[in-house]
Amino acid sequence: MTETSTLLPAGSLAGKTALVTGSSRGIGADTARYLAEAGANVVINYRNKAPRAEKLAGQLRGLGVEVLAVGADLTDADSVQAMFDSVRETFGGLDILVLNASGGMESGMAEDYALQLNRDAQVRVLETALPVLNDGARVVFVTSHQAHFIRTTPTMPEYEPVALSKRAGEDALRERIPALAEKGVSFVVVSGDMIEGTITATLLERANPGAISARRESAGKLYNVSEFAAEVALATVEPVPADNTRLVGDTDSFAGE
């Protein structure tokens, strides 16, 4: 993505501030870019990719918006609090919070790391963000069909612990919809099929050769990173569906609940 897109009208998010977790690369970075192109000030969150985050921040500042790059381990409460303290100090408040960061397939992590990151940390980030979310703010949780439909449609064994933990995170966040609504904050889940070019897809392909091409053949098409990020960006501004869910890509292979 080098050219300025016309995904969201230029200036349509002027004066707004967005934070995207896990946005130094991949879907998060492209989502942050789309929001900045529409005029939003952006908070780039990263865990340990500071140079990459600062490079992206420099590019987005070139669009004429303010950008804050903040390192924070979302599984660490103090780290998350410090991030939102920085947001409040710099921007005063937040209008868009995109819960994009996830994981669980990394090697050498604790056995319950997937649950810590994909459920506990997501709830912690939301709850810590609440005092800085402006009236009318939008929260977007990014997940996969493999996780969203895990109760009714099995996934690859290698991905199952991650899928279960992400669904647990989605459920925990959904429980907070009424409380968010009372505060004037809307919430939407964006669920996508396997995304070409993501770390997760690469790790799954390594563990299960042919898995991605098989899924592509079954679905007819898989979205790439920038295409899916566009859907996430649109979810920050478009009306929230009645079931608070935006499904991206083929769902014919997944049984509804």
Using alpha carbons only, how large is the chain's radius of gyration in Å? Answer: 17
> 102, exposed or middle or buried, with CB in 10 Å at 0-12, 13-18, 19+?
buried
The residue whose two tokens read 């979810």 is 235
Q: For 230-246, give the DSSP string.
A: HHHHHHTTSPPPTTSEE
Q: What gap in Å lies between CA 38 and CA 12, rounded to an integer? A: 5
In DSSP terms, 138 is beta-bridged to: 96, 186
Answer with the residue of higher pLDDT: 215 or 184. Answer: 184
- Tokens matching residue 60: 């987005």
Is residue 201 a contact partner of residue 223, using CB atoms and an 8 Å limit?
Answer: no
pLDDT above 60: residue 1: no
What residue type is assigned to position 50 of the chain? A
- Tokens matching residue 26: 């991949």
Q: Which of 149-158, 168-177, 191-200, 245-254 has the lowest mean pLDDT?
A: 191-200
The residue-averaged pLDDT of 38-47 equals: 97
- Give the list of residues 6+ apart from residue 3 with CB closer than 8 angstroms, or none: none
pLDDT bucket at 6, cuts 50 / 70 / 90: low
pLDDT value at position 74? 96
Alpha helices in the chain (DSSP H): 26-37, 50-61, 77-91, 113-115, 121-129, 145-148, 160-174, 177-182, 199-207, 211-219, 225-235
pLDDT value at position 5? 46
What single DSSP character describes residue 196? B
Answer with the residue of higher pLDDT: 196 or 228. Answer: 228
Domains in the chain and their CATH numbers? 17-246 (3.40.50.720)
pLDDT bucket at 196, cuts 50 / 70 / 90: confident
Tens-place pLDDT, residues 135-166: 999 999 999 999 999 999 998 888 899 999 99
Is residue 38 a contact partner of residue 12, using CB atoms and an 8 Å limit?
Answer: yes
Q: What gap in Å lies between CA 92 and CA 78, rounded to an integer? A: 19
Q: What gap in Å lies between CA 161 and CA 113, rounded to an integer? A: 10
H/E element, 98: strand 94-99
What single DSSP character describes residue 117? I
- Tokens matching residue 187: 């919430």
